Copies of this chain bind each other. A is one copy, B any other.
Amino acid sequence: MSGKIFPTAQDAENAFYEALERCDLEGMMAVWAEDEEVVCVHPAGSRISGQDQVRESWAKIFAGGPRARVRTEQQVAISGMMLAVHSVFEVFTLPGKPETQPAPAIATNVYLRTAAGWRMIVHHASPAPAQAQAAARESGPKILH
């Protein structure tokens, strides 16, 4: 599908959020493992399994084109030899519209070390309640292991 190699899970995560911000479908799918049982849960959405359904879901999300900037905050990273798990707050901002900021999300991202480098295998995002937003902005990245 794609020749991109991500040497670390963090490289895959960076590419994921870059593709999300740019609404770049090919860039997004290059991050995902070529596995039929990848799992994706968009905020307030159901569980989506399989490459085709995951691609379709991102195509719908990206249809309107880029609007929001996205950055991750307060990362907790757990790393094994084959799997890495990152818990992050996804903070969205609309350039030029400080009064209408989208709600942040909480995401659990799981990366698998494949023959073609690290790839995303699970993305589970859910809306962060209002009180979480301040907390997300208070502290920097954390590394667990």
Contacts and interface: CB of A to CB of B under 8 A. Distances in A.
Interface of A: 35, 37, 39, 41, 43-47, 49, 74, 76, 78, 80-85, 87, 89, 106, 108, 110, 112, 121-122, 124, 126-129, 131-132, 135, 142, 144
B89 A47 contact: yes
Given A46-B129, A47-B135, 7 more contacts: A37-B142, A47-B89, A78-B121, A81-B81, A87-B122, A110-B110, A124-B124
Given A108-B124, A110-B110, A46 B78 contact: no
Nearest to A89: B47
A37 B110 contact: no
A84 B142 CA distance: 21
